[in-house]
Amino acid sequence: MKSITIYISFSRIPCSAGFLSTSLSDDLKKRKEPHICALRKILFKDFRAWLSDISKIDLESTIDMSCAKYEFSDALLCHDDELEGRRIAFILYLVPSWDRSLGGTLDLYSVDEHFQPKQIVKSLIPSWNTLVFFEVSPVSFHQVSEVLSEEKSRLSVSGWFHGPSLTRPPNYIEPLIPRSPHVPQDHEILYDWINPTYLDMDYQIQIQEEFEERSEILLKEFLKPEKFAEVCEALEKGDVKWSSRGPPNKRFYEKAEESTLPDTLKACMALFRSEALFLLLSNFTGLKLHFLAPSEEDEVEDTKEGEAASAPDTTEEGTSCSSSEPKSNQEATGNNSQQSSEQTDPEPAENEAQKESSVPTCQGELRHWKTGHYTLIHDNSKTEFALDLLLYCGCEGWEPEYGGFTSYIAKGEDEELLTVNPENNSLALVYRDRETLKFVKHINHRSLEQKKTFPNRTGFWAFSFVYYE
């Protein structure tokens, strides 16, 4: 057989949505090489006519075709391919000899009663010169599993045949995760658990100044060493019951069943829900997370009193920087995105009324992150003002190339605003606004390197909480 060499330029696709990690060529509809032209013609003329006939779909002549190259640790996570006009997806595999152990399978999902992906029901192994196609629909969920070969690349030509759009069922809105106000507990719990450095009032002022400037901060060695050791020991013992959280087009990780937690872990969860910690977080951030924390209105009054007592020619020095809510006084993470929120904002007056009467709340869970886990940005990703808190355990030797880091991006933008890497006994605080989205990067098989140092450990753990004013 005659050998043909065609040079195609590939671009690395940014993983800004936590969704795709692979290399993709430019659109092949404009390429002039004779063999690409011939492939384009046979697919979108002769084959399209046959496919239209057997599928009973009036397929258009629109050409939508590119080449994808998946290398070691690349994956394409769960999605449905739905976009205006797409009716049938196709993949032509150009792989060397391939088997299941190399990964890169095309995995097809079943769906539940809400038309959400449930579990993988079929896996197709790539094979040279094999064409796979399937109808694009609201339930055509699939993924490309992670490529596990360091020597071979998974090369394919893929695209879509277009036709009349299908009617989508209404978007399924997941039930809201319950939020709870603080649990009454005095400051003694802080002295029991937290590094005394962070309980010093002068140091808290420094932390707040830095946080208000950057909307994020990392507090290292946050828990007392002996307490952190107790928490890690409890996690390592394996007495925790974990349940998988999905659906896979939005997230995949393990959540601890709180009723089964050993006492040490229950106490740590109680710390993050305690009244004392709400107040401490107010001191760290300037947010109104406790009734004793100064509000923006209090500071305006203080400013007015200071101005009244000052001479008429007093400058504005000392009055231009408030230590109250970051969202009112400086940019929260991602505030410079111009794209409007997908969720309709309430009327300003109603919003203010709700804020006046609102009680600070939180929601949180203990998560286990290991190979294959991730979260995705999706159509119904909720955006609102919130303070994210993360405390990591079991991260010794964890490298950024493994994934598992939390990435913040501005809505409608690819550029990452902030990355929070897992780091032992480090408390990450990030304030986000309505234009900021976040995801946890897919954890790839490189993470198994951790087993060389810690044979009995898979991944790491994180206490993950969100606080609302």
DSSP labels, 324-384: S-HHHHSPPBTTT--SPPSSPPPPHHHHHHHHHH---EEEEEEEEE-TT-EE---TT----
Contact status, residue 388 vs residue 463, Cβ threshold 8 Å: no
Q: What is the helix, strand, coil percentage profile of the chain, to 5? A: 30, 30, 45
Predicted confidence at residue 160, as pLDDT, reads 96
Predicted confidence at residue 297, as pLDDT, reads 58
Determine the straight-line distance between the first and last CA of the chain, rounded to whole angstroms. 69
For the chain, 469 residues long, give each residue's pLDDT as a single digit of tens. Answer: 333 444 444 444 445 454 555 666 667 888 889 999 999 999 999 999 999 999 999 999 998 999 999 999 999 999 999 988 999 999 999 999 999 999 999 999 999 999 999 999 999 999 999 999 999 999 999 999 999 999 999 999 999 999 998 888 888 899 989 999 999 988 999 999 999 999 999 999 999 999 999 999 999 999 999 999 999 999 999 889 999 999 999 999 999 999 999 999 999 999 999 999 999 999 999 999 998 887 665 554 554 455 444 444 433 333 233 333 444 444 444 443 333 333 333 334 444 434 445 899 999 999 999 999 999 998 777 789 999 999 999 999 899 999 999 999 998 887 899 999 999 999 999 999 999 999 999 999 999 999 888 888 889 999 999 999 9
Predicted confidence at residue 103, as pLDDT, reads 98
Contact status, residue 180 vs residue 466, Cβ threshold 8 Å: no
C-alpha angle 126-156-141 in degrees, rounded to nearest 5: 70
Measured between alpha carbons, how far is residue 462 from residues 203, 236, 389, 400, 415 in Å? 25, 13, 10, 16, 25
Predicted confidence at residue 354, as pLDDT, reads 47
Predicted confidence at residue 296, as pLDDT, reads 61
Rounded to two decimals, what is the model's pTM? 0.83
Contact status, residue 273 vs residue 182, Cβ threshold 8 Å: yes
Predicted confidence at residue 381, as pLDDT, reads 72
